[in-house]
């Protein structure tokens, strides 16, 4: 029999509904698995066992009383950048150590209202800045496929927890790739929704014009279940879209025949590992055999995405992170007077990468440089978005590799920030354009490390993305593979 912790959300819900298992049993199975594995994997920053068991008991009572919410009794983990009422939220930073929010992020609150059982909070790069979780102030999460390697980042804990069976699904956040890239490195299904599809309220801000909460899980169907609950307008986030949310689950089995899939030539370039290119090309051939039509396209401004992002994201971060001053919450290094206290608190509280971004961002926004850097980057961002607008006049979806390489080893890129930034070349453009991107596991390299394909759709086209992804997963079983220690 499949272990309880290997069940998809879809299968776990069926068993809960049939009363084959209880939410408490399922939750205990996950908590045991965390106890068994997390010393080695280091995916969790907080395991909220009592909180989870209490929620599971409530879920069982609710079900006994006839309730059947979409995630009733499903144990999940939450990236530590999303505020959780009564449960410590650190963003992987010393500066927020000990901070316990008095409210929950809308995305989390909606999952809880749908019956989700929150197991705890997951490790991440500090303030979501990074691609490996090595920038966490607390621990480095290991890749369950090879513990000498990184799980990707910044939502590395969220990705590792799913593939290791330590949560049925998780929430991550993606500013430039932080859901999709760890999804690719850990071999799981991971969706960055369109900007504005899911509320950012309670998501501790990094780059406010880019940040998106999204689901990581074992299948497209599971991702659709989670997205369904989170998506939609929130009066507490003025940038959330006041538009109807389609029924993603109902749409999963719709026809994919005739969908045109753009293959941008700028994404198959030198520097991409041959095994990655081969697996993604094979996945595209699979889409074709399902009746979709590959079409070569061009996204001519792709090369500018990296420099554009690395002006805009740090600029926004430098403004957002000004609020950590040792006065209102988190760390305070008291030096008696105001300025010395600010300086000491921020000096000790932030790690090296966060300081680097604050300095880059402050420089890019300073008088005399604003137009040359920030203004220019915004203009180029528009060109990048127009590339997608033009492409989507011609195609329904775009398929690319999610990352140029498979998971790298711990320490391999830490001395070279530029090499680390290059991790994001294939995920940044969709972030800058605000369009949704889905990582689908599509193969393995010679070292048995997962490879991911990214599907991109027009803004608010998550339904098409999920439909195509589901069709792909009906025909393949890459998403069902698990690491050997399972």
HSE-up (13 A, CA, CB side) for residue 328: 6
Q: How far apart are CA 438 and CA 321, in angstroms?
A: 29
- For position 316 contacting ligand GLN by CB under 6 A, the verdict is no
Q: Which CB atom, from 8 or from 413, has the smaller least distance to ligand GLN?
A: 413
| CB 422 to ligand GLN: min, Å | 10
152 contacts ligand GLN (rule: CB under 6 A): no
Catalytic residue among 93, 107, 154, 158: 154
By C-beta, is 154 or 189 nearer to ligand GLN? 154
Active site residue 79: yes
- 284-313 footprint of ligand GLN as x/- string (CB under 6 A): -----------------------------x
Comparison of 80 and 424: residue with beta carbon closer to ligand GLN: 424
Query: Cα 441 vs. chain centroid, distance in angstroms?
Result: 15
Pairing of strands 260-264, 397-401: parallel
Is 154 annotated in the active site? yes
Does position 176 interact with ligand GLN (CB under 6 A)? The reply is yes
Catalytic residue among 22, 79, 83, 104: 79
Q: Which stretch binds ligand GLN (CB under 6 A): 38-46, 126-134, 230-238, 368-376?
A: 126-134
Tell me the C-alpha distance between 313 and 193, whole Å.
18
- Residue 43 found at the interface with ligand GLN (CB under 6 A): no
Give the one residue of 178, 240, 320, 406 binding ligand GLN; rule: CB under 6 A. 178
Give the phi and the psi of residue 267 in degrees, each rounded to 5: -100, -5
Tokens describing residue 179:
């859901």
Residue in 22, 154, 228, 305 binding ligand GLN, rule: CB under 6 A: 154
Give the full edge-to-edge strand order of the sheet including 437-444.
Answer: 44-47, 117-122, 75-79, 169-174, 212-217, 189-192, 437-444, 450-456, 397-401, 260-264, 293-297
Is the Cβ–Cβ distance between 432 and 382 less than 8 Å?
A: no
What is the rounded distance in angstroms from the CA atom of residue 87 to the CA atom of residue 137?
18
- Is the distance from CB of 358 to CB of 127 less than 8 angstroms? no
Does residue 215 interact with ligand GLN by CB under 6 A? Answer: no
Question: Contact between 22 and ligand GLN (CB under 6 A)?
Answer: no
Q: Does 424 bind ligand GLN (CB under 6 A)?
A: yes
**Contacts to ligand GLN by CB under 6 A:** 128-131, 154, 174-178, 206, 313, 424
Known catalytic residues? 79, 154, 178
């Amino acid at each position: 029999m499949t272990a309880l912790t290997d069940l998809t959300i879809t299968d776990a819900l069926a068993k809960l509904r049939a009363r084959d298992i209880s939410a408490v049993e399922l939750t205990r199975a996950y908590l045991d698995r965390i106890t068994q594995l997390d010393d080695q994997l280091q995916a969790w920053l907080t395991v909220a066992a009592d909180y989870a068991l209490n929620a599971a008991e409530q879920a069982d009572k609710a079900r006994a009383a006839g309730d059947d919410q979409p995630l009733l009794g499903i144990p999940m983990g939450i990236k530590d950048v999303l505020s959780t009422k009564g449960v410590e939220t650190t963003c992987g930073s010393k500066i927020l150590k000990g901070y316990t929010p008095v409210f929950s992020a809308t995305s989390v609150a909606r999952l809880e209202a749908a019956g989700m059982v929150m197991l705890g909070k997951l490790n991440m790069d500090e303030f979501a800045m990074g691609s490996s979780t090595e920038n966490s102030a607390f621990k480095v999460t290991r890749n369950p496929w090879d513990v000498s390697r990184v799980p990707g980042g910044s939502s590395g804990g969220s990705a590792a927890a799913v593939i290791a069976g330590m949560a049925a699904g998780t929430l991550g956040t993606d500013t430039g790739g932080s859901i999709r890239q760890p999804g690719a490195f850990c071999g799981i299904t991971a969706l960055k929704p369109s900007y504005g599809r899911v509320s950012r309220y309670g998501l501790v801000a990094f780059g406010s014009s880019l940040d998106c909460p999204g689901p990581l899980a074992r299948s497209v169907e599971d991702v659709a279940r989670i997205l369904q609950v989170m998506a939609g307008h929130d009066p507490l986030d003025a940038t959330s879209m006041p538009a109807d949310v389609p029924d993603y689950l109902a749409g999963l089995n719709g026809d994919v025949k005739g969908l045109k899939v753009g293959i941008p030539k700028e994404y198959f370039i030198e520097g991409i590992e041959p095994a990655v290119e081969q697996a993604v090309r094979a996945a595209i051939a699979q889409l074709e055999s399902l009746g979709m039509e590959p079409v070569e396209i061009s996204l001519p401004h792709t090369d500018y995405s990296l420099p554009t992002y690395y002006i805009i994201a740090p600029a926004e971060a430098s403004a957002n992170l000004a609020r950590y001053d040792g006065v209102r919450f988190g760390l305070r290094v008291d030096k008696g007077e105001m300025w010395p206290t600010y300086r000491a608190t921020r000096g000790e509280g932030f790690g090296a990468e966060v300081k680097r971004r604050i300095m880059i961002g402050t420089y890019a926004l300073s008088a005399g440089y604003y137009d040359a850097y920030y203004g220019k980057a915004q203009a180029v961002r528009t060109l990048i978005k127009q590339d997608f607008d033009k492409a989507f006049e011609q195609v329904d979806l775009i398929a690319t590799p999610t990352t140029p390489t498979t998971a790298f080893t711990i320490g391999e890129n830490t001395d070279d920030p530029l090499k680390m930034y290059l991790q994001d070349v294939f995920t940044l453009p969709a972030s800058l354009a605000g369009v949704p991107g889905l990582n689908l596991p599509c193969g393995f390299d010679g070292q048995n490390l997962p490879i991911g394909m990214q599907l991109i759709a027009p803004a608010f086209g998550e339904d098409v993305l999920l439909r195509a992804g589901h069709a792909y997963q009906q025909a393949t079983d890459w998403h069902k593979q698990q690491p050997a220690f399972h």
